[in-house]
Amino acid sequence: MAAPKKVQQRLAALRKEIDHHNYRYYVLDDPEIPDAAYDRLLRELQEIETNHPELITPESPSQRVGASPVTAFQEVRHAVPMLSLSNAFSNEETSDFDRRVRERLQVDSVEYTAEPKFDGLAVSLRYENGKLVQGATRGDGTRGEDITQNVRTVSTIPLHLLGTNYPAVLEVRGEVLMSIAGFAALNERQRANNEKVFANPRNAAAGSLRQLDSRITANRPLEFFCYGLGEVVGRELPALHSEILELLRHWGVRVAAETKVVNGVEGCLTFYRDIMQRRDSLPYEIDGVVYKVNRLDQQEKLGFVSRAPRWAVAHKFPAQEEMTTLLAIDVQVGRTGAITPVARLEPVVVGGVTVSNATLHNEDEIERLDVRKGDTVIVRRAGDVIPEIVSVVAAKRKKGARHFRMPTHCPVCNSEVVRLEGEAAARCTGGLFCDAQRRESIKHFASRRAMDIEGLGDKLVDQLDDSGLINDIADLYTLNKQDLADLERMGDKSAVNLLAALDKSKNTTLARFLFSLGIRLVGEATAQTLASHFGSVEDLQAADLEALQLVPDVGPAVAESIRAFFHEKHNRDVIKKLRKAGIHWPKPEVVNKSKQTLQGKIFVLTGTLEKMTRDEAKQALQARGAKVTGSVSKKTDYVVGGKDPGSKYDKAQQLGVRILDEAGLRKLLK
């Protein structure tokens, strides 16, 4: 009975789509869809062909391993075909595999070698008399590409086998991959050079190994692991797959340390659970484990189906990449004011977890991905990492999809959003007012180098915020004893102490006050310079960009950050409330260039000074134009050492940096 027309049409569509994705994956090294989506297409095709075997043709993707190689490399014909593996996606399917193996062998139990399934590029390495003479890709399983010059650059591939007594011809089969750390470093380098950023380690490894210029391959962090053999001539090998792997180790070929011999299906599943649990701590990515019948005579008896051995199966992990639809792009405001775009997704299970949101990092990342509302996207989740969109399936984009635009005003407080030159993140400028930033701004305001409010720690700030007692930093000075005593773990004595600390903090310096406001890019040294240059908050607030850039060490980015902060009425209102609450300072000494006797000199303070505090010494140095830093380097001009100076003193001696005691410092300041 002929298959229904709809079935035939679906079969034709599946074959066409799978061929297209094979080409993208094997030839271009630029897959459009994740492996899980490809596996579903292939499985649907196989089910139709199983139900209608008369429709199977030799050209069907189910009868092939990959795709034809491109013509840029010389063709290599594999003496022994490089076949693919059948997949198991559940414990039940793994049990079915074991049952079929036992039934065909007519035994009660089978010993397996269990190995991690690497997510890289399959290659064949041909050794003749111990020397590496050829490297090839898998290609379509029968014909691959000659990549000898490229594999010779991979440090973990031996150019000559170790020891003696190896076969005259030995074809080593394995996987070239990129470690997680190597992948991260490569992408960082690519971004810095404005070059292509890779979606995942597998794509990066494949793209690196198939470069026409082997010098590029040599600069990529590629690694190799062996998992089996192809052609062997001139020596009889052990009867067990596990013993062959041990022999290969002896000859200097790298084999995964996690490889283990197990008994029966329970041994397989125990191995699977163990590797699954350790997956996130492994230095490389794996997408499952592989079970292989250990005895070679049993492998031979089991034989092959059209594209895979009957004696092995890949037990896949839950997919870490999946396809779904991008419903919307929202923005979130972080505790430091960073505006982060967030993708709202059609819920999809990725890595065993339902994902409905994914980070888009920043505006540059959205532009790089060219992601738009309504797009079909590939979402990735590895371990505990926040899910992220790795690519867009451009072929599925609807007409009229619009580009995303970053909001010009904060969605929380409506303050202006600015992006400073040289920074990837856009930020809300309402630092003293924005609800999203309140806790962080209070913690900074109270810190020792800012307003130095003793007893106002992180937990108490969280309590005050949760209780609704404070809406901004100025509200700290409206707190009363009863408000504080009612808080958990406070009591009357703690409340009185905190109120005393708040009152004490009102007497400060303009430099400390400016630093305490948490203006982006304004650290202690810049705050001191601004205080000395302008002499008042009012004059600083009124300064335009040109006036700000007349201040030493204030460039365009710092000037824009200061301007944006004071441009917000909310921030100016909070400052007025702080002044009204009684915060005051002596008028700072305005910069007198004739007194800038230490202009440009770099100092480091270490140890305890007797006649002044380190903060006082720092202010005195800064008033004379010096810079005070926290670490010693060759650029340091002076290290001032007090009592118990520590390692900075030792490093200054090693580098030959001039060292002053307190008396020497006081003399220099005079």
| Residue 155 CB contacts under 8 Å (≥ 6 apart), including other chains | 223
Contact indicator for 664, 617 with CB cutoff of 8 Å: no
Residue 194 burial (10 A CB sphere; 0-12, 13-18, 19+) = exposed
According to DSSP, the residues that pair with 292 across neighbouring strands are 113, 312
Rounded to whole angstroms, how far apart are CA atoms 534 and 519?
A: 16
Rounded to whole angstroms, how far apart are CA atoms 319 and 574?
A: 50
Q: Which among 137, 94, 66 is positioned nearest to 308, based on CA atoms?
A: 66
* Cα 604–chain centre separation: 35
Name the phi and psi angles at 291, rounded to 5. Answer: -110, 130
Length of the chain: 670
Contact indicator for 34, 378 with CB cutoff of 8 Å: yes
Annotated catalytic sites, by residue?
A: 117
Residue 400's identity, in one-letter code, is: G
| Residue 589 CB contacts under 8 Å (≥ 6 apart), including other chains | 532, 623
Q: Which among 430, 149, 91 is positioned nearest to 265, based on CA atoms?
A: 91
Residue 174's identity, in one-letter code, is: G
Residue 473's identity, in one-letter code, is: I
Rounded to whole angstroms, how far apart are CA atoms 288 and 275?
A: 8
Rounded to whole angstroms, how far apart are CA atoms 560 and 548?
A: 9
The tokens describing 331, both together, are: 């923005």
According to DSSP, the residues that pair with 218 across neighbouring strands are none
Residue 275's identity, in one-letter code, is: I
Residue 596 has a CB neighbour count (10 Å cut-off) of 15
- What separation in angstroms does the CA of 592 have from each of 404, 510, 589? 50, 17, 8
Rounded to whole angstroms, how far apart are CA atoms 10 and 362?
A: 41
